[in-house]
Amino acid sequence: MLSLIAIDPGMSAGIAMFDHREFLVRVFTSKHPHAPLREVLLANADVLVVCERAPRLRRRQPSTTEFVEALVARFANKRVDVRPTDWKGHPGARLMRPDYDAASTVHERDAVSIGRWFNNWKRNGGHYQVKTRAAA
């Protein structure tokens, strides 16, 4: 049973899925327009989703990062937004060899790192704000 989905958003979003024992179950890349990500979110609507929220740049058109963030906001019932500065460089985000080998792209490795950091942080008493999706 899944307990966490971690997402590194972007044109090629990295998605890492963890079970209740905090083991990495699956890691993959979803490319724009992110149909695989949408399917995972729909199939696992009650699983907590941790998504990196990138700094906002001024532009007229939404970026692909914002597109992924909007998908998560729309389809995930429970989500936590984290900033890159929350997890990057944190010892809890460090990947062990099996995780590193399972991830084939930088985005996948970042998604696994986000999930590892969040599980470690939560286990050690970290507090976080869960955003919930209003029932449609």
Summarised one tens digit per residue, pLDDT across range 20-74 is 999 999 999 998 778 899 999 999 989 999 999 977 766 665 688 888 989 999 9
Domain count, the chain: 1
d(CA 91, CA 35): 33
Residue 65 sits in a domain whose CATH number is 3.30.420.10
**Residue 5 token pair:** 């989905």
Quickly state the pLDDT bin for 136 (edges 50, 70, 90): very low
What does the pLDDT read at residue 61? 59
Q: Which range marks the domain in which residue 12 is found?
A: 2-132
134 pLDDT more than 90: no
pTM for the whole structure:
0.88
What does the pLDDT read at residue 21? 93
